[in-house]
Structure 1
């Protein structure tokens, strides 16, 4: 097991990788104590059987390792970069260097398109495709501690060595079924830099609350903005400042003074004083002082839709039938919210666009319009003309 600890070693391996059609990539990182993920290890493998075909890159080994050669490889469009469940890995590279590997292939996305079910795990694909297994004993370890054990190194390398066979199997299946474009369409979100931009102005949208009063949402927005800015500036998890349940409580009680803030049931002790407390009170005041016209407005689209429950149920039956016919995970085609929206008359829905329209969306619209019905033929449910 070769571990690269210098820029020259990494550059040599990346030069070698650029002579192959693809390279498999994975990372190990920590995020429990920081806002931004701390990169601890990068695993790389190329498609040959040599001893040096798979390596570990250790960014914590010393001060002399630059990741620039890896980022140049990521920018080389002649080499496919293969990941499994790439979202968090890509965020690390984008935050560190503003780079998103291209072209990109995510085996989790491809597996869903190829009939391996919802959110197919890496171990599942290893077992089903390579007939191998993955030693899980090192999964929950502190990857920032050195030296790494042999067990940790073996576990990390397995994440890219099996990935070669998985990628080749899925790529062949996509080619034979003509679904490669489906995967490309799905990967457009992962390759969009906006996916990785944590905008404090939009942080409030992640906070779940049943109260949709504009003034309440205005306070939520200000509290979420302050928390996000504070967390980013100090590189600490947002939950270390205050959790969502405390944020919602504060937005409801609207504390005006430090004494008011002290009565909060869910706020951690550290947040009741100092700069966090000052930030909370300032955020509440900003929310209360915000002009009515500038307050966030809840999405009333679903409220205005008259969802026909029977039609929504028919769409669910159609979705299940299409999922089985095409051997594609149903949740990848349409979510429950998509079905309710379509049943309520909405047409600007993801399930009605792109490859999803070919598989499900066109018939879903025709079902809503009364142009087709559903019939049982043997053990299958099929659309029938009316």
Structure 2
């Protein structure tokens, strides 16, 4: 296990963060729990500074920060987040950033996400940290502590070893990927992807929009109005009490309630899928009020009916898939980072406002995708490769 220091006081955290400001980057990771809460409970923060340039040195400083320690404030860390001369390096940063955003409304800048960078460098889709440790850092990870209880104290040696490895190996991964990206000139691509991670809209869940995540088999306006009100009530209740949505009631119970439309507690008691938690008086009353509001909603959602996809569109969708694969292989980028299957189908059906046609994706794929859709180019196969053929 790499050498590290455990920080349990604000002064010690401030001293480390001041040192970090003198370095070009700092690697960061977190451990948290979310099984019993709506918002993640931050249990541990790991950070490491670059290895020392002296080959005889044992390496850079690494720390475990205990945010559960009595009296500790994370203000020094947030001050480091604002220090733009030091790059904050994460792997798959979304959940980490969500914690910091909800805790303090702040994002680390500048940010470098090695998962995004790895996809841009051709390591495949949603590449895992363990894969990068093996391929770049030439090491291995002991994942046995991954799903342990990070709120327990004291942490075991296995937990500490697992946690510190998440930032010490990350240094070599960052330096390797950054060098590749600088050489390829694709830094703007990575920055464009990272911009989504530091957009507050990525982490804001509005109760009024919660119904859009519920899968149903029918889209009748009145049924969907009840679904919308039930999902809104559940989201508001879960957020205000910091409990998981499933602790209020699960999606299958929500759909059942929207179908049966109970009008009182006696009828509600006949639900097959509503668990004991959902039968508590305050939740039961909220459910009945939401159903009533859905039944009386003057403007129920009217979802567009799915239209059969014309054969020509389906054929064009297949051609776009072939083009995407060829362009992704040529660029050395994971195909799903460029375009999703639904985006390809949307382009085939005439959509022009999809992400695959914007930014760096347009340069790699989007422009030729539009030319293909508009009949200006064709595709041919020669010597095992797909080629673009200009049409007169």
Q: Quick check: 2:249–2:277 contact (8 Å CA) kept in 1? A: no
In structure 2, C-alpha distance between the alignment counterparts of 1:9 and 1:309, rounded to whole Å:
61
Where does residue 366 of structure 1 map in the other structure?
371
Deviation of residue 204 (structure 1)?
Answer: 1.1
Aligned partner of residue 228 in structure 2, secondary structure: helix
In structure 2, C-alpha distance between the alignment counterparts of 1:76 and 1:261, rounded to whole Å:
54
Q: What's the CA shift string for 1:4-42, capped at 9, x where partnerless? A: 000000000000000001111000000000111100000
Deviation of residue 303 (structure 1)?
Answer: 3.5
- Provide the TM-score with structure 1 as the length reference: 0.96
In structure 2, C-alpha distance between the alignment counterparts of 1:202 and 1:265, rounded to whole Å:
26
**Match for 1:56 among 40, 64, 80?**
64
Task: Figure out how many residues of one structure are paired with residues of the other and give that number.
Answer: 382
Residue 4 (str. 1) matches residue 12 (str. 2) = no
Aligned pairs for 1:1-386 within 5 A: 1-49=4-52, 53-61=61-69, 63-291=70-298, 294-299=299-304, 303=307, 306=310, 308-386=313-391
In structure 2, C-alpha distance between the alignment counterparts of 1:112 and 1:125, rounded to whole Å:
11
Q: What's the CA shift string for 1:101-152, capped at 9, x where partnerless? A: 1111111111111100010000000001111111111111100000011111
Aligned partner of residue 316 in structure 1, secondary structure: helix
In structure 2, C-alpha distance between the alignment counterparts of 1:18 and 1:222, rounded to whole Å:
48
Deviation of residue 210 (structure 1)?
Answer: 3.0
In structure 1, C-alpha distance between the alignment counterparts of 2:219 and 2:184, rounded to whole Å:
45
Give the alignment's Cα RMSD to 1 decimal: 1.4
Q: What's the CA shift string for 1:55-97, capped at 9, x where partnerless? A: 0000112x22100000000111111111001111001001011
Aligned partner of residue 189 in structure 1, secondary structure: helix
Q: What's the CA shift string for 1:253-305, capped at 9, x where partnerless? A: 111111221221211123124111110000000011110xx3223255x6487
- Provide the TM-score with structure 2 as the length reference: 0.95
Q: Quick check: 2:221–2:300 contact (8 Å CA) kept in 1? A: yes
In structure 1, C-alpha distance between the alignment counterparts of 2:197 and 2:158, rounded to whole Å:
31
Structure 2 gaps of 5+ residues are: 53-57
Aligned partner of residue 168 in structure 1, secondary structure: helix
In structure 2, C-alpha distance between the alignment counterparts of 1:298 and 1:192, rounded to whole Å:
28
Range with greater deviation from structure 2 (250-259 or 278-287): 250-259
Aligned partner of residue 23 in structure 1, secondary structure: strand
In structure 2, C-alpha distance between the alignment counterparts of 1:296 and 1:69, rounded to whole Å:
47
In structure 1, C-alpha distance between the alignment counterparts of 2:135 and 2:363, rounded to whole Å:
28
Deviation of residue 43 (structure 1)?
Answer: 0.2
Structure 1 gaps of 5+ residues are: none
Q: What's the CA shift string for 1:214-264, capped at 9, x where partnerless? A: 222211111111111111111111101111111111112111111221221
Q: Quick check: 1:7–1:64 contact (8 Å CA) kept in 2? A: yes
Q: Quick check: 2:38–2:242 contact (8 Å CA) kept in 1? A: yes
